[in-house]
Structure 1
Amino acid sequence: MIQLKEGGAFIKNGAEILDDGQCAGLDSRQLRQNTIAYSILKSHNTAEDMQNLKLKFDAMASHDITYVGIIQTARASGLREFPLEYVLTNCHNSLCAVGGTINEDDHLFGLSAARKYGGIYVPAHQAVIHQYMREMEAGCGRMILGSDSHTRYGALGTMAIGEGGPELVKQLLGRTYDIALPQVVAVYLTGAPRPGVGPQDVALAIIGAVFKNGYVKNKVMEFIGDGIQNLGMEYRNGIDVMTTETTCLSSVWMTDERTREYLKEHGREEMYRPLSPNGTAYYDGLVTVDLSKVKPMIALPFHPSNTYTIEELCANLSDILHEVELTAKRQLGNPDLRFSLQDKIRGGRLVVDQGVIAGCAGGTFDNICCARDILRGHSIGSGEFSLSVYPSSQPTFLSLVENGAIADLMTSGATVRSAFCGPCFGAGDVPANGALSVRHSTRNFPNREGSKPGEGQISSVALMDARSIAATAMNGGVLTAADTLDIDYQSPAYKFNGEVYKNRCYYGFGKARPEEELRFGPNITDWPHMPALTEHLLLKVASFITDPVTTTDELIPSGETSSYRSNPERLSEFALSRKDPAYVGEAKEVRAFERLREEGQDPFGGGLQGLLEEIKKLDSGVDSKEIGIGSLVYAVKPGDGSAREQAASCQKVLGGWANIAQEYATKRYRSNLINWGMLPLLLEGEPKFGRCDWIYIPNVRTAVEKRLETIEGYVLADGDAVPLKLSLGSLTDDERQIILDGCLINYYKNH
């Protein structure tokens, strides 16, 4: 059902894949300019050079666990007015369930910022961030930047990118998003999905094929082919939003009359224009998807790429679940933790404890209507199994009320709730310890469902499509693929009522009120002082992670930490708390030495005297005042997952100066490190150090200034200095200066 082509491909008019004979004499360099992605990037590039882009976006979006930090950073850097449409949604901290009053303080801060600087404010429970942007902001040929990793509106012809907050700050201050011209991979869709197969099934099939081999990493996925015409817009949106889990940079689709109708229904027909490749286009790769062969899928814990067809899983239950258990125990790193999935096998069938249909992926109109068609006239039962449904916006909810879907779902025993992203990141519908939840949401990383493995609490999430979740619910929690049912899907028309937003949202773009005062609260604090990069660094390895991939959820957990996102010091207490509970204490101990140095005192007078003697053996004339002292995190491949800048900023607040990695899982995590003044170091070969070892990097500031390819470091251990070869990879001039200045805030103050 999924095929990957080795090497590039020439495709004519987005429809005909040329064979080798037809490709003779074609210029790949010239014809790569005929992709949809190239034309959109070109129209947003402010540099003359199309190889090194400097992009300005049409609009931006943030939610209530990212916008406070972004606005605080921009404010400290000279913000006067939002220069582009900036939408502040409130879909992550919506419940205000943890931390007392501090969540609602964030919301009042957001509204006051929208008034002061001229923004758009979407109150809690009105819409999840990406559904609002689809309904009100996405348009053909546009580019949108969001501080959430699932910022994807490609099905509507919009190239959207999810990044850490500092990249949004740059746009607010009139700067650009700087990136090398990305490669573009064609995703050629053909055929039509079978009844019972939904967008999550197609998305999981693609993710399973391309994630582990990095086929589309940091590239643009361009959806073409005759199969597109067989998909409704919400179906396309459901596939598109999950492209984030492939680690691609962005996505874009060919547009057609269905795209026009969607925009027209939302009162924005003027945002439509046909998008397709210009004649014959060259792509750097080709993913062919035969939609007719996709079957209902499941992604087992703990990654969206851990995919199987439900049919395959049910035929090999014990073997597959045993392998997942072994992998999970290695990943969780707690040999005493009891984690079992095989105890869910009853009578030869897999029985799950909970179903959730929610968020930007699951909570769309079409998904919920299909779930209603399956459950109408049935009961989910009065046992342990429960089902929750979260429509993705109030207009979606209203249309579902009007067509009777909500009534049918509630009658079946499902609970229906307001627009909220919580089930996607562990702050809503937290299951019982040991439970297995099946969800049409975006991720199933560890603790995405609220677990705390360090405290012996562990449950797990498997990703599925809403249709198979409803089929499973109809059978009281027994895993059931929707294509095994004979269902008459009604496919009712969606009716958008824009009055819902007009009567509640604040629209202030172009109407800044400088006289307005920002509303603060006790948990909204400024960023602490961050020193410039010193000439030399002495770094303690405060965490040493050997997992193949480390997610941002492991670097800074989601869930209850959301309440502290506006307080850098408080939030930093949670850094690596579920992956490496000793990290914060180690980092703080080292930070105390650096604070002595910054205050003009001698940090080497105590327990570091022996290290200074080792350093002087390498360079007897070194000035100890020029040695910055801090911590670092080593991980094999860190940064998969969320765009949350806090995965990096918390390390910086705790005194972090660097990460060392074999590679970085995503561009956005590496960018977050840079924007918080940390060195994104790469290691050649296996590490010659371990946890709590000290690494000395001499002349690192000079190395950054002079663009040296190799940076020499030394592991100081047992009276010896073991050489290390490190590098920084490609850096723009601005990125180098940000690292030298110590962080993005300092960079703007200094320049």
Structure 2
Amino acid sequence: MVKIHGNKGVYLLYNRLFLDAELTPAEINQRLQQEGLAPIPAEALAPQTAKTGTITYGILMAHNTSGDPEHLKLKFDALASHDITYVGIIQTAKASGLKEFPLPYVLTNCHNSLCMVGGTINEDDHVFGLSAARRYGGIFVPAHQAVIHQYMREMFAGGGRMILGSDSHTRYGPLGTMGIGEGGPELVKQLVGRTYDLVYPEVIAVYLEGEPAWGVGPQDVALALIKAVFAGGYVKNKVLEFIGPGVANLSVDYRNGIDVMTTETTCLSSIWQTDEQVAAYLAEHGRPDDYRRLEPATVSYYDGLIRIDLSKIEPMIALPFHPSNAYSIREFKENAGDILAAVEAEAKKLFPHPEVKLDLTGKVKGGAVCVDQGVVAGCAGGSFENLWFMAEMMAGKPIGNGEFALSVYPASQPINLALINQGAAAKLLSSGVTLRTAFCGPCFGAGDIPANGMLSIRHTTRNFPNREGSKPRDGQLAAVALMDARSIAATAMRGGVLTAANELELPPKQTVRYHFDPQIYAHRVYNGYGKADPSVALKYGPNIADWPEMIPLPDGLILKLAAVITDPVTTTDELIPSGETSSYRSNPLKLAEFTLSRKEPGYVPKAKAIARLEEERRRWTAGQALPPDLAELFAAVAAVTGKKTEKLVADTGLGSAIFAVKPGDGSAREQAASCQKVLGGWANLAIEYATKRYRSNLINWGMLPFTIDPADQAKLTVDSILYIPGIRAAVCSGAEEVTAYLVPGGNTIRLKLENLSPNEREIILAGSLINYYAVHQ
């Protein structure tokens, strides 16, 4: 089904895989001659040379401004943000010297579009966004018109392009575009003429063979891939390049459905070979000139290989609390009791509160698994083909009048119109399905929130803890399992009894024709690119606030650990919860109150306490008596170091920090880091970081991304105090390791600062990207 080819590189020569990259050129050419193919010069087979034959290499080099193919400085073709990220980005860019958008910047309104929390604040953000598009020359997509990634597929993605989005699921590989999801500060860099910097990434070939069975959908393929690679980190921060004869057996909608889920593998980006189907898709969307044939060169080298036989993929289900916790539905149903018991045990570890209980084994009734809710939505589920297939399956057959309910959200209004025009909407509605507008809410807990104790099956992107909107601290807990739209339709047709699509008689295999109507966007979307009007004033609602002052990195630091998280992985949803908290993302101080609220509710008061001490320290002047709490803390540090107290107080800043084993899986949201900074945070300590984007967020908010040896983890507890002398000098000098002293006691711990670029070090020294641009405009 999905096979990983170890840790060795592979060649693709004349579209043939050579799995043993350790073959000598002579051995390779001997094989080629046996197949009647021309030999390849030895120098062309050197991995450093052959890697230039990948699709990835060509696109990256076309966007690299550094002149160094190993150290990239990328400029993108377009940017995209939605309504829980663009306010902060524009505010930061404005503070950094923004005059007008130098490239197309699309502002969609698909996350807080229900405007259901906090009074006027959500719609206030939308008004701000339109005013910003007019002032700076942007593109504004009003609420309910399209989810962010569907709009970019329809209107911007094309062959050989790169798009940067402030959403982790920024993926447009099937259309020939490398999409990267990052935190807001990386978009700010593009808006003020800077670059996206990284070391040339490894590229993994995803070789597709065969054809999926009718009824097996893109989510099934995606979950099988995620299951195979996530735990071992095989593709972490790498680029997935989809190639092979199986690509031609997938429609563009199908490819998009697989591609958008690659974010859950923790890869950096993705790209696919393109063909006539992609040309037809772009032509249908009025952009035939945006097509470009992309395929590997005659000689290509990849750093690894994932081989997928599409014909062997079965309908899948990913159980709580991660898309990688996946099984075939067949396997799951055969072992449902045991598998669900394991999920319950995991829930007890995640939520060790006696008032919270997740009874999933109780969903097994008479040998069947009964679910309570179904949702198909967003950039993963809301495609035309997914919803059309559901309509053909259901064809007006009732879902029943019991507890089970099913909602579907077309990913754009053009898709919605096509469903109506082709009769698919009527079939869904007559079955009892609720047909909604384009909205990402079910993906992050702001729409169709299930009741306490419910199990919801969803064709959306994630099923992290509380991603569906429940609040364990309030005694609420629900669960989400990810499935493909086809199997969700099959389950709906049986009134909520879990059913794979291939268990039912399916409609005849056929190809559906989609018609895109551009008038919807022409009549509603504001396209101001290239038409900036500085006379337009930004319209601020009462919840839109500037970032608080952030100071440069002090000479030394005292860090107090306000949270210690020992879970194997910590998601951004746990660092700053989604759901209704998203409505406050335009107000840094209000949003910060929610930091770690569902994971470590003691974090915020602890962080505030150390921040108050820092305020007292900054008010102190030499010769004054220290407040008692400061005097006690600095006396303890002085006892460990032998330094004079007054000198320590003058040179040493105070701040909070967190330790987590592997933080940052999931969303690109910068607020997972910025909220810590707003509360006085100066660092994260980790064994490793789950994603590049979270580590970049820390750096852009002036926070130190320390890593430690696993053996040192036992030294760290909540309220541990670490003194780091000379941290500013260490960062400035390029040091990759500093020594911290545990107070009291004086035991030491090594804190590593590896792989920080000179520019990243400058941002940390300045205290934030905003501060950096204040002196580097």
Q: Classify the TM-score, shorter chain.
A: over 0.9
For residues 113-262 of structure 1, the aligned pairs below 5 Å read 113-262=132-281
- From 602, 606, 625, the equivalent of 1:586 is 606
Corresponding residue for residue 704 of structure 1: 731
Matched, 1:650 2:669: no
Q: CA offset at residue 689 of structure 1?
A: 1.9
Rounded to whole Å, the distance in 2 between the matches of 1:101 and 1:603 is 48
Matched, 1:549 2:572: no
Letter matched to residue 678 of structure 1: M
Corresponding residue for residue 515 of structure 1: 535
Rounded to whole Å, the distance in 1 between the matches of 2:426 and 2:510 is 16
For residues 45-84 of structure 1, the aligned pairs below 5 Å read 45-84=64-103
Letter matched to residue 518 of structure 1: L
Corresponding residue for residue 312 of structure 1: 331
Q: CA offset at residue 604 of structure 1?
A: 4.9
List per-residue Cα deviations over 1:266-302 (Å, max 9, x = no partner).
0001001100111121100000000000000000000
Q: CA offset at residue 374 of structure 1?
A: 1.2
Matched, 1:736 2:761: yes
Greater alpha carbon shift after TM alignment, 357-366 vs 725-734: 725-734
RMSD of aligned residue pairs (Cα, Å): 1.2
List per-residue Cα deviations over 1:530-589 (Å, max 9, x = no partner).
011001111111001000000000000000011101000000000000001111111111
Conservation of the 8 A alpha-carbon contact between 2:564 and 2:716? no
Q: CA offset at residue 490 of structure 1?
A: 4.4
Corresponding residue for residue 696 of structure 2: 671
Corresponding residue for residue 563 of structure 1: 583
SS state at 1:738 partner: helix
Q: CA offset at residue 750 of structure 1?
A: 1.6
- From 623, 643, 652, the equivalent of 1:620 is 643
Conservation of the 8 A alpha-carbon contact between 2:396 and 2:428? no
- From 608, 627, 633, the equivalent of 1:611 is 633
Corresponding residue for residue 662 of structure 1: 687
Q: CA offset at residue 336 of structure 1?
A: 4.3
Rounded to whole Å, the distance in 2 between the matches of 1:332 and 1:282 is 46
Greater alpha carbon shift after TM alignment, 620-629 vs 38-47: 620-629
Q: CA offset at residue 15 of structure 1?
A: 4.5
Q: CA offset at residue 623 of structure 1?
A: 3.4
- From 478, 492, 501, the equivalent of 2:512 is 492
Corresponding residue for residue 548 of structure 2: 528
SS state at 1:205 partner: helix
SS state at 1:721 partner: coil
Greater alpha carbon shift after TM alignment, 694-703 vs 15-24: 15-24
Conservation of the 8 A alpha-carbon contact between 1:12 and 1:18? no
Task: Quickly say closer, same or farther: Cα 1:290–1:716, change in 2 above 3 A.
Answer: same
Letter matched to residue 10 of structure 1: Y
Q: CA offset at residue 614 of structure 1?
A: 2.6
List per-residue Cα deviations over 1:154-184 (Å, max 9, x = no partner).
0111001000000000000000000000000
List per-residue Cα deviations over 1:46-100 (Å, max 9, x = no partner).
0011111000000000000000000000001110000000000000000000000
- From 420, 423, 427, the equivalent of 2:442 is 423
Corresponding residue for residue 4 of structure 2: 4
Rounded to whole Å, the distance in 1 between the matches of 2:237 and 2:667 is 14
Rounded to whole Å, the distance in 1 between the matches of 2:510 and 2:540 is 49
Q: CA offset at residue 613 of structure 1?
A: 1.6
Q: CA offset at residue 13 of structure 1?
A: 4.1
SS state at 1:148 partner: coil
- From 498, 506, 525, the equivalent of 1:505 is 525
Rounded to whole Å, the distance in 2 between the matches of 1:384 and 1:630 is 50
Q: CA offset at residue 714 of structure 1?
A: 1.1
Letter matched to residue 655 of structure 2: G
Corresponding residue for residue 38 of structure 2: none
Rounded to whole Å, the distance in 2 between the matches of 1:103 and 1:259 is 36
SS state at 2:540 partner: coil
Q: CA offset at residue 333 of structure 1?
A: 3.8
List per-residue Cα deviations over 1:455-484 (Å, max 9, x = no partner).
110001000000000000000000000011
Matched, 1:686 2:712: yes
Rounded to whole Å, the distance in 2 between the matches of 1:619 and 1:48 is 49
Conservation of the 8 A alpha-carbon contact between 2:554 and 2:651? yes
List per-residue Cα deviations over 1:340-397 (Å, max 9, x = no partner).
2101011111000000000000000000011111111311000000000000000000
Q: CA offset at residue 399 of structure 1?
A: 0.3
Rounded to whole Å, the distance in 2 between the matches of 1:657 and 1:27 is 44
- From 410, 417, 431, the equivalent of 2:429 is 410
Rounded to whole Å, the distance in 2 between the matches of 1:44 and 1:128 is 26
Greater alpha carbon shift after TM alignment, 117-126 vs 318-327: 318-327
Rounded to whole Å, the distance in 2 between the matches of 1:92 and 1:492 is 30
- From 725, 733, 746, the equivalent of 1:721 is 746
SS state at 2:629 partner: coil
Rounded to whole Å, the distance in 2 between the matches of 1:653 and 1:522 is 19
Conservation of the 8 A alpha-carbon contact between 1:597 and 1:603? no
Letter matched to residue 383 of structure 1: G
List per-residue Cα deviations over 1:173-231 (Å, max 9, x = no partner).
00000000000000000000001100000000000000000000000000000000000
Letter matched to residue 237 of structure 2: N
Conservation of the 8 A alpha-carbon contact between 1:102 and 1:523? yes
Q: Percent identity of the aligned residues?
A: 61
Corresponding residue for residue 32 of structure 2: none
Rounded to whole Å, the distance in 2 between the matches of 1:570 and 1:72 is 16
Q: CA offset at residue 35 of structure 1?
A: 0.5
SS state at 1:607 partner: helix
Conservation of the 8 A alpha-carbon contact between 2:9 and 2:19? no
Letter matched to residue 686 of structure 1: D
Task: Quickly say closer, same or farther: Cα 1:381–1:588, change in 2 above 3 A.
Answer: same
Matched, 1:93 2:94: no
For residues 382-393 of structure 1, the aligned pairs below 5 Å read 382-393=401-412
Rounded to whole Å, the distance in 2 between the matches of 1:527 and 1:460 is 35
Once superposed, which parts of structure 1, at least 4 consecutive aligned residues long, lie more than 6 Å away?
none
